[in-house]
Amino acid sequence: MENLTTRGRVTRLGATALGLVLLLVGTLWGNDDDFPFGPFRMYSTSNPPNAPAPDTRVEGVNSDGAVIDLDQDATGIRRAEIEGQQDRYAAEPALLAEVADAYAERHPDAAALVEVRIVIRWHGIRAGRPTGRHTDETVVRWQASR
């Protein structure tokens, strides 16, 4: 085994120190987008035992008034992609037209969507167990121009 030169040792120590600083900064001030140098909240937090549990979904209303579940099979868009961009959709609901377009592309013979909405179903939890009750909250809504 060969000995490292002074320059090699300094380079390795510098890289290690930089990695540790990035981990510390990411841990204290980072968010999911900074992973692996920031916390991945999905695995680093939990809900209180009596707090409702959210279940986000996307649904549409077609021109016949029927409510359509706009899941990955219906649109090709994963729920995680919608959840990850939820703040963006809330700021600009017109972006949900892309979901309607994705649905229309996969279902050319279906009635057109006139509304797309992001809905959170809050499942009741008591002592860490589901209560069987829920409430729905529409957090973003886009309606097609008439």
Task: Dump pLDDT digits (tens) for 50-100.
Answer: 999 999 999 999 999 999 999 999 999 999 899 989 999 999 999 999 999
Confidence of residue 23 (pLDDT cuts 50, 70, 90): confident
Confidence of residue 43 (pLDDT cuts 50, 70, 90): low
Domain boundaries of the chain, sorted by first residue: 6-44, 53-143
Residue closest to 89 by CA, chosen among 125, 131, 139: 139
| Whole-number Å distance between alpha carbons of 56 and 122 | 9
